[in-house]
A and B are shown apart, each in its own frame.
Chain A
């Protein structure tokens, strides 16, 4: 792999950039792999990457029905934070956040991780108590957060209206090393690194069946023919139920639409990410200058990648109230993605009833921030059969009543 650097760019400039290699190869599938990952989104590619990097398993194929990074990886609002309340969540999200810190260097691909800080606003007394609880928990979990007062919020976000007549800002949970990253670059960077390790990233290859013998996976059927494998990771977000059915088991998953929108770009006016959960909206400014805005999910099963406009309306109304100066900005584009929601809104990273089949799903509205941590943990689970990061996220927890519920402390899963 030709390393990326300013010198490489300069060298290529001399020959009008005609010498760049492909970022990833475009191979035909081999007959057999040690491991197949279904889904070349961020989570799937990261799983493959850490299988190779951490566990030396490099005979790996990543199969993608469409184009890599084309699902929720390329549709989310790119917020990265780890200020979760429950131990298992804090562990995997903080692992993830810390991997983001060095991802550009690890992958030699600038994913533009921007630790600009994330504030979750407290706008009711109940929220204040909830975030104080999270701050205390985070202190013991090794997650650097603090609860700050309204004046500090205003200092960090000068455009905010802390004296809103309806929901004044009472403070906020501040994670200084949370932030954003360039979503597409995460998928592309991992794909390039996987390809460089000799793994096969195979796009436009849809899995149509999971082949089993004696309760164990032996391969998959695809639109590019049958492919054998010893281990299979299903990492397909909103389409997990379909794949699980092919493998012969069920999951506590429902697929719903989540929407986001961006404004037209303007010069820098907001340097941190702000989440306002009482009024349901969150916003950051991209490096391009667009205000990136997200809100809540639809309540019904939906695979159209389109959502209902009233959610956009509620979100925009909440943010115009919170940031009055955005009122005259214009919505440039709105879109939707399909997210998979579990019974407790926390993910599933788990073995399954089928030997050799592992599943990573249920990230709901908060998957992007988890990509490297999820890949790291999933790779460990697939390689060793166990990972402390995934233990609590088993698919059997619902039967035991052992939920990981992040909604408890005024928190949301975004």
Chain B
């Protein structure tokens, strides 16, 4: 039963207030993209045992989408941040580095 802090409204939201939205920081590939890129974009997913970046929506709350950095093995939450960014913010990455030295996720570390 997760609790995530919504970075928009500041509420420590119960899992029942939230909707999980899958992997974060996907880059959209539209018409004209290669089959490879499109398949990767739509289906291939990071599925790590450890640090993961994912999307959530505070659906029964302020309605905003946001991102969370979370460990899939312990469910520890390293931080939540705006959905309107293409990469995790530095302060969250630093926080993860302090707790999980040597971590990496996609091309972030």
Contacts and interface: CB of A to CB of B under 8 A. Distances in A.
B22 interface: yes
A403 to B, nearest CB: 10
Nearest to A238: B47
A281 to B, nearest CB: 17
B1 A304 contact: no
Interface string A269-308: 0000000000000000000000000000011111110001
A308 B16 CA distance: 9
Contacts of A254: 22, 45, 47
B2 interface: yes
Interface stretch (A54-62, A229-237, A245-253): A245-253
Contacts of A250: 40, 44
Contact of B43 (A241, A252, A302, A304): A252
B29 to A, nearest CB: 12
Contacts of B22: 254
Contacts of B94: none
Nearest to A398: B43
Interface in A63-119: none
Nearest to B38: A399
Given A310-B1, A398-B42, A302 B16 contact: no
Report whether over half of chain A's contact residues are helix, strand or loop; otherwise say mixed: mixed
B98 interface: no
Category for how many chain A residues contact B: 20 to 34
A252 B38 CA distance: 12
A242 interface: yes
B27 to A, nearest CB: 16
Contact of B44 (A252, A300, A310): A252
Nearest to B19: A299
A251 B36 CA distance: 13
A302 B75 contact: yes
B2 A308 contact: yes
Given A309-B1, A399-B35, A252 B15 contact: no
Interface string B11-45: 00001100110100000000000011011101111
Interface string B48-70: 11001010000000000000001
A255 interface: yes
Contact of B73 (A253, A300, A304): A304
Given A299-B20, A301-B54, A302-B72, A241 B47 contact: yes
A343 interface: yes
A41 B66 CA distance: 38
A252 B45 contact: yes
Nearest to B14: A310
A253 B47 contact: yes
Nearest to A304: B75
Contacts of B44: 250-252
A241 B75 CA distance: 19
A303 B54 contact: no
A311 to B, nearest CB: 10
B72 A399 contact: no
Nearest to B22: A254
A301 B70 CA distance: 10
12 contacts: A241-B47, A253-B45, A254-B22, A255-B47, A299-B20, A300-B20, A301-B47, A301-B48, A304-B74, A308-B2, A310-B15, A343-B42
Given A252-B44, A255-B47, A301-B54, 11 more contacts: A299-B20, A300-B2, A300-B54, A301-B48, A302-B72, A303-B73, A304-B72, A304-B75, A308-B1, A343-B42, A398-B39
A-B CB proximity, top 9 nearest? A299-B20, A241-B47, A252-B43, A300-B20, A343-B43, A399-B39, A398-B43, A308-B1, A301-B72
